[in-house]
Amino acid sequence: MRLHPLFFTALAISVLCGCGVQDAPSAHQEAVRVPGRWSPPADVIRVANAQRVEVVDPPALYPGGRCSGPDPHRDWCSHPACIAAHPGATELANYILRRWPTTSNSGVYGCRRNTNSPNFLSVHAVGRAIDIDVPEDGWDADNTLGDEIANWLIVNAEYIGIQRVGWDGRWFNGQRGFGANMCGDRCLGDRFPTRCWPCDPHVNHLHIEVSVDAAHRRTSFFTVGPPGETCPVTCYGNAAVREDCSYTDCTETGEVCMSDPVRCERAAPPEPNAASHHPDAAAPSLSLLGAPARFAFTGPTRVFDTRGDESRLSRTGSGRLSVGDVGVVSRADFPGLPASSRGAWLNLAAVMAEGDGYVQVAPAGASVETSSLNYQLGARRSNAAPTAFGASGVSFAANRSDVHLIADVFAAFADEGNGLRAIAPRRVIDTRDSPAREPRETPVVVRVGAPASAIGVVATLAVLNDEAGFVTAYACDEPRPVTSSVNFEGRGVVANTIVSKLSASGDLCLFASAPADFVVDVTGYFVPEGELSFQAVTPARLLDTRADDARYRGRLGDDQTITLPVQSLRGAPTGAQAVTVNLTAVQPDGPGYVTLHPCGFDPPRTSSLNFSADRGAVGTIALSTLGDGDLCATMVGRAHLIVDLVGLWVPTPGATAPSASDPPDPADPIISGDAPDAGTTDAGVDAGDGGVDGGVDGGVDGGVDAGVDATPDSSREPPGVIDDGCGCRATSGPGNALWLLGAALFLRRRARS
């Protein structure tokens, strides 16, 4: 994966000062009660620097947002990423106010710029920053109290989930330790730094940023409880707390911690390098739904959108899909389907969720333990969802929290249509090797190497981007549709398995609304004489490595390949040659990807699912051929893996095999300006909220809570063990420069798309 140079520039210079509006100090301010900048004791700095909390910054302000003026302190903005305060941020703010009752809360949420990086949003804008005022003496604040709170926050950074603390001109960064001066040398020696305004030195309040996990209440502070205030001898995270409430690092001193059963249970032994294999684990039985069907392109067409047009969705309430209120779309209400249709290929998007949760899509009346799309508070998540029809159609159910849901139909499973010609994954374009990204008024044309008679293609489309936008995939000789294939929010990688018709010349067009790179891995073509038809099944879970009775248990290790029997499952149809599954990576410890491939062959240099540690559970639909009836998956990185089977591809009676073993080699892509003029419409309807996110974070939680990943970062030393069984992590984390270099090398080597 090639990262844009601006990524490292932004990472190196980003200091998110963005706090509440303040007036410049007058020339007659009184001195602070305790002179001098915040200077934590050596033992506090030692413990603080041993912590590591991943820092996740908000997106760039443009495109997609605008502000009322040029002043980061006073201007208010509008941006699709802005969201109200997360529950974890609010709960931590309330705890601080209770523990230090003379403090006050001067702000959590505000859709505004970052003070020192005005081209980016403030962390306040995404609901993960807190401003805590301390009693003032003049314009400056009481350092005695402010220092105490700041020291407590950085010592407990991992336990709480603190990614940054800004106080009294200095800052703590969860990835890089304790810094020197928040505003740079321009402010040194100046208690009232009007010369470097609008840089906010935070001299009368603490600026506190919580991690993504803390925002969603997934850290120990929320699951176990706040650290003790009476300071018994104990340990948590890196910190050993003495009776006098001073701190040290337990691995450095070898100090013995008193028993603390709850926390000691979470101090697990070193994690194995790979998931353990249990070949005798019970396997699911498959329930076939109807006869095999052909693949008929019908759209894309919007089925419903709970933010507006939901007339086709039958349910009790309206607006957001509520937990417990199952919506159903009847077979007759799916637009444009052939009369013989027995199912449909859908794309789902979850937007404006009121909390974390997941959507289950299933044949109406069926009981399933899987899910089709995971979502998070305030995030946009989507995924493809092939499904069969039940007696009354298809059901849509939200779990854990209410959410707006959008559904688009792309194709039908019917008696008439095309068959699948499955191939080993083949990369047909990677624009990272082309000139720098630039906005394109016309699409990129991708020659997918299709057989001459091909009607359509199925492929994994990965989008690498720096700005927010969307991508639409479509046949080059048809108007661009008003739906989108992948939405992206900026500075990341998103992907989705797409199905699309091809032009008469066999080409696929990709239109991007903002600068982006594309990586396309083809896994099959739809041709009239295609050998394989789709056999729908009641969705069945093949693997969840978090489960105690799974075939593989524990997080998959780097370069670990696993084998999942398919043909030998009870109820499986004879002669299955390919499968459609939903993949989800849960609790990753960094960036990585999963590649599906037929067993007996080396994994190809392609990816079926990409993930990163800052995005939570990520998933997507994937199609793969089988090897001797088995499906293989290779992990690059480290994460739990969930695999749900939604359908198999079986031989069609009378179909003949292709005359050549492989389709033609793909040609070079045609870059913008050379695409045929097929006419366009506005694609990506409501790309900020609707459309299709690309499925990176959609997928399968299956009703099992992903929980809190309590294991230490695999890049660090394993936890030490002291004689009461309570573990503490090693003192030395990766150095700043080495960590950045290692991350860059890892991403370049590992994330191939």
pLDDT computed for residue 272 by the predictor: 85
Angstrom distance (rounded) from CA 415 to CA 418: 9
DSSP output for 312-354: T-B-SS-SSBPBT--EEE-GGGSTT--TT--EEEEEEEEES-S
pLDDT computed for residue 705 by the predictor: 27
The pLDDT-based confidence of 521 (bands split at 50, 70, 90) is very high
Q: Which of 234-248, 249-263, 515-529, 711-725 has the lowest mean pLDDT?
A: 711-725
pLDDT computed for residue 193 by the predictor: 38
The pLDDT of 737-750, averaged and rounded, is 31
pLDDT computed for residue 591 by the predictor: 87
Number of other residues whose CB lies within 10 A of the CB of residue 661: 7
**Contact criterion met (CB below 8 Å) for 296 and 342:** no
Q: Which of 584-598, 643-657, 713-727 has the lowest mean pLDDT?
A: 713-727
DSSP output for 697-738: B-S--TT-------SPPTTSPPPEE-TTS-EE--S----HHH
pLDDT computed for residue 561 by the predictor: 97
The pLDDT-based confidence of 139 (bands split at 50, 70, 90) is low
| Structure confidence by residue, pLDDT tens digits, 104-124 | 887 788 888 777 677 788 898
The pLDDT of 424-432, averaged and rounded, is 89
Confidence check: pLDDT of 348 > 50:
yes
Token pair of 591 as six digits: 């960036």
DSSP at 448: -
| Structure confidence by residue, pLDDT tens digits, 686-712 | 333 333 322 222 222 332 222 222 222
pLDDT computed for residue 467 by the predictor: 74
Confidence check: pLDDT of 231 > 90:
no
Listed in sequence order, the residues at least 6 apart from 71 whose beta carbon sits closer than 8 Å to its beta carbon are 198
The pLDDT-based confidence of 552 (bands split at 50, 70, 90) is very high
pTM for the structure as a whole: 0.60
Q: Which residues pair with 492 in a beta bridge?
A: 465
pLDDT computed for residue 698 by the predictor: 28
The pLDDT-based confidence of 72 (bands split at 50, 70, 90) is low
The pLDDT of 319-336, averaged and rounded, is 93
Provide the residue ranges of all domains of the chain, joining segments of one domain with +: 5-227, 234-267+711-753, 277-651
Residue 53 vs residue 271, higher pLDDT? 53
Confidence check: pLDDT of 495 > 60:
yes
Phi/psi at 670 (nearest 5 deg)? -95, 120
**Contact criterion met (CB below 8 Å) for 405 and 398:** yes
The pLDDT of 322-333, averaged and rounded, is 94
The pLDDT-based confidence of 20 (bands split at 50, 70, 90) is very low
pLDDT computed for residue 401 by the predictor: 85
Average of per-residue pLDDT values in the chain: 74
The pLDDT of 559-576, averaged and rounded, is 96
The pLDDT-based confidence of 74 (bands split at 50, 70, 90) is low
Confidence check: pLDDT of 713 > 60:
no
In terms of C-beta density within 10 A (0-12 exposed, 13-18 middle, 19 or more buried), how is residue 262 classed?
Answer: exposed
Confidence check: pLDDT of 621 > 90:
yes
pLDDT computed for residue 437 by the predictor: 56
Confidence check: pLDDT of 181 > 70:
no
Residue 10 vs residue 215, higher pLDDT? 215
% of the chain with per-residue pLDDT over 90: 38
| Structure confidence by residue, pLDDT tens digits, 672-687 | 433 333 333 333 333 3
Cis peptide before 272 (omega within 30 of 0): no
The answer for 661, left when phi > 0, alpha when psi is -120 to 50, beta otherwise, is alpha
Residue 453 vs residue 659, higher pLDDT? 453
Cis peptide before 198 (omega within 30 of 0): yes
Confidence check: pLDDT of 729 > 60:
no
pLDDT computed for residue 481 by the predictor: 87
**Contact criterion met (CB below 8 Å) for 652 and 608:** no
pLDDT computed for residue 726 by the predictor: 31
% of the chain with per-residue pLDDT over 70: 68
